[in-house]
Amino acid sequence: MKVPVFCGKDCGGGACPLLAELVDGRVLGITHNPEAGRFITGCARGYGLARFHYARDRLRMPLIRTGERGSGSFREASWDEALSLVAERLASVRDRLGCESILSLASAGSLGALHNTASLTSRFLDCLGVRTSLQGSYSNGAVRFVLPYVLGQDWRQSSGFDPATMQHANMIILWGANILETRLGAEVPARLLEARRRGIPIVAIDPRRTETAERAATTWLPIRPGTDTALMLALLHVLIAEGLVDRGFVDQRAIGFGQLEAYVLGRDDGFARDPSWASAICGIEAPEIRALARSWAETKPAMLIPGYSIQRVEGGEETFRLTVALQLATGNFGLCGGSTGSPNNCLPVPRVGRIDPRARPGGPSVSVLRWPDAILEGRSGGYPSDIAAAYVAGSNYANQGGDVRKSLAAFARLEFAVCHEMFLTPTARLCDVVLPAASPLEKEDLGIPWHGNYLLYKAQAVAAEGQARSDYDIFAELSDRMGFGEAFSEGRTASEWVELFIAASEVPDPLEFKRSGIYLAPEQERVGLSEFRADPEGRPLRTPSGKVELASEAYARDTGGSPIPLWRGLRLDPRFPLSLVSPKLALATHSQGRDPAGAGPAAAQAISLNPGDARARGIAEGDLVRVYNDRGSSRVRALVRAEVMAGVASLPEGSWFVLDASLEDSSGSPNLLTSTEGGGASTSAVMHAVAVEVERCQGRAATEQGPG
């Protein structure tokens, strides 16, 4: 027997069509759902669902802390005891200190129309009172901050492209977009590989020769982390200086190109941002920059797919202001087979009901990057509340946020913390109560794709393991105990919510939808802002000018920055000459799948160095090394790889930190090296181009490293 499922992980896919094969109530394997066709497919993360579901170290009973916070000492408890304790402690904090002293540390660890951990936590806490929430995003904080100024407030519903339009592209530029590992939608990888088979030129701009650069690209341009803005400005210089820009086209659709042109050509300061200037910064030879600019301008349509990695740097806001400028300057903006330069997942999904998070307007909020600072400093440090408790769901914030040591100090300051989890993650170890959460295979739900014009249905494939419960059922019972059960659940079971959402959707045949597991909307080749491109006066954008604002006075006024994008430079420190990047792994979703006990399939953690950098430091393949800066240090195994450009150290994100008494990590966690400072007006995460040094651990074998 096979039933439709999806994993619901926040991996860049969100909703991939899968089938669970069942025998005697047990999942034997996960395969592709052929009803979705050959392009919308899953990946190794989803195909490994059964492994996580049946993992030996999965939590199957509620836990209550017995030892010091972070010690991992817990005892098993009944649901009645655990939920009574949670209700009592939350009510105590609310009644004594106000509900704003409770921080929502929820994220998208589970995605779906109903079983969305971020939405459910918000709904529960807002029934409790006005809690302190997080604003922004670790993933795309800079782009979410800046593009409303460039493309208007509705850019997230208007500026993307459907993956099927990739078949019309005659050139594809992947800028920091490792499609085959981070995916950026369930359909995009297969469409990219099809374009490669068709012989379409595909350029990968990335500090690493990734799997995507190796298997899909025809050209790899290695670029120093954090220097994308310099390269973009140099490309614009070539386009402008060689008369390759249709100024009539640009000026009809944008304001500020003349100001940007003056900066690029150096008219105001006598300093041209040309390929020779950029080459010294980004490491790409000037002739290669000129060749890319010319082919980009001459090839129509050319699709630019920028990855979020290029904005997780200092000055990350500037990168996406310039991706839009490049697509305008080359005439590919809003063109079928082209793109606007915004993220690709910015078009509406089919109409469907979904749980209302019920966020109360006007409540206190803090930057997601600064949550530890908000706990540690409170009102005396300029934050809007004094936080005493945290509710954690769908997240591993202590591990995944900047500056692990600060995160530990923040949790130590809390009076109470509770979380929903499948595994005893580093964050769960810091909580007072850990509630065992259901796996994706234990929940009926509707899947809303990260990128695409379809919906998915999944059945509850199997019964819950042990005493695990869905996040919805946990919050529903907790709400009953705290006196607002009707406000949270509205008297509905999880199954009744799913039926309501289907009834509110555009799905024409619910029975067929449940049988096949997928509804494909009629239009599969939508082109973001194509109507604006065709008629900029009749279909204006929701910006002050009605046009693309390459120069934004509103941005300058609100941030104190420049109305046009500028090269801001890099923070260089001679003590730490290597530039750290922390990419994702194909076999893991952030820290999901990085369990050192072995539940996940991801390979052991390692840092990759260019052969020249390794040789200069006396480092050989497999050596145990120490990677460090002035924020912290971590020990990890070294790999020597020509696929990493010189001057770069690549340490994948997600490994679960393991600290010794001196707070040095032995798992290879990059977040011992990052900070909560953030970059630019958006206060967004800086997880790449982090200055570090790497040294060989003298007299220590690689096998001595901690679990990773």
Place of tokens 């901050």: 145
Residue 53 to residue 174: CA distance in whole angstroms? 35
Given a cut of 60, whether residue 701 has pLDDT beyond it is no
* Per-residue pLDDT reduced to its tens digit, 32-60: 999 999 999 998 888 989 998 999 999 99
Q: Are 309 and 580 in contact (CB under 8 A)?
A: no
Contacts 24+ apart (CB under 8 A), 248-251: 249/328, 249/331, 250/328, 250/329
Give the three-class secondary structure for 311.
helix
Given a cut of 70, whether residue 64 has pLDDT beyond it is yes
* DSSP class per residue in 354-394: -----PPTT--EEEGGGHHHHHHHGGGGT-S----EEEEES
Mean of all residue pLDDT scores within the chain: 94
Beta strand ranges found along 6-59 (DSSP E):
18-23, 26-32
Given a cut of 70, whether residue 598 has pLDDT beyond it is no
Lowest mean pLDDT among 1-15, 436-450, 535-549, 590-604: 590-604
Given a cut of 90, whether residue 592 has pLDDT beyond it is no
* Per-residue pLDDT reduced to its tens digit, 209-253: 999 999 999 999 999 999 999 999 999 999 999 999 999 999 999
What the block records as the tokens of 238 is 């070539």
Q: Are 191 and 168 in contact (CB under 8 A)?
A: no
The mean per-residue pLDDT over the stretch 126-144 comes to 92
Under the banding of pLDDT at 50, 70 and 90, the label for residue 703 is very low
pLDDT, residue 361, reads 73
pLDDT, residue 603, reads 60
Give the three-class secondary structure for 569.
coil
The mean per-residue pLDDT over the stretch 269-278 comes to 97
Give the three-class secondary structure for 211.
helix
- State the CB neighbour count (10 A cutoff) for residue 639: 17
At 392, the amino acid letter reads: V
Q: Are 272 and 265 in contact (CB under 8 A)?
A: yes
- State the CB neighbour count (10 A cutoff) for residue 637: 19
* Per-residue pLDDT reduced to its tens digit, 342-384: 998 899 999 999 999 977 777 899 999 999 999 999 999 999 9
- State the CB neighbour count (10 A cutoff) for residue 261: 21
* Per-residue pLDDT reduced to its tens digit, 289-305: 999 999 999 999 999 99
CA distances 381 to 135, 244, 388, 405, 646, Å, are: 18, 51, 15, 19, 41
Given a cut of 80, whether residue 478 has pLDDT beyond it is yes
Residue 148 to residue 549: CA distance in whole angstroms? 10
Given a cut of 80, whether residue 599 has pLDDT beyond it is no
CA distances 640 to 211, 214, 473, 622, Å, are: 16, 17, 48, 8
Helices (DSSP H) in 78-116: which residue ranges? 79-97
Given a cut of 80, whether residue 167 has pLDDT beyond it is yes
Given a cut of 60, whether residue 602 has pLDDT beyond it is no
Name the fold adopted by 143-342+539-559.
Answer: Dimethylsulfoxide Reductase; domain 2 (3.40.228)
Residue 232 to residue 330: CA distance in whole angstroms? 12
Residue 666: name the closest of 428, 431, 430, 426 by CA.
426
Under the banding of pLDDT at 50, 70 and 90, the label for residue 707 is very low
Options 3.40.50.300, 3.40.50.740, 3.30.1390.10, 3.40.50.2000; CATH of 63-137+350-506: 3.40.50.740
- State the CB neighbour count (10 A cutoff) for residue 696: 16
pLDDT, residue 708, reads 29
Residue predicted with more confidence, 240 or 182: 240
pLDDT, residue 130, reads 87
Under the banding of pLDDT at 50, 70 and 90, the label for residue 699 is low
pLDDT, residue 10, reads 82
User: What residue segments make up the domains of the chain, in order of their start?
Assistant: 63-137+350-506, 143-342+539-559, 578-704
Lowest mean pLDDT among 46-50, 89-93, 605-609: 46-50
Residue 510 to residue 505: CA distance in whole angstroms? 9
* Per-residue pLDDT reduced to its tens digit, 527-562: 999 999 999 999 999 999 999 999 999 999 999 999
Does the structural domain 578-704 have CATH classification 3.90.1150.10?
no
* Per-residue pLDDT reduced to its tens digit, 624-669: 999 999 999 999 999 999 999 999 999 999 999 999 999 999 999 9
pLDDT, residue 705, reads 38
Q: Are 353 and 504 in contact (CB under 8 A)?
A: yes
Lowest mean pLDDT among 12-26, 446-460, 621-635: 12-26
Place of tokens 């936590």: 121
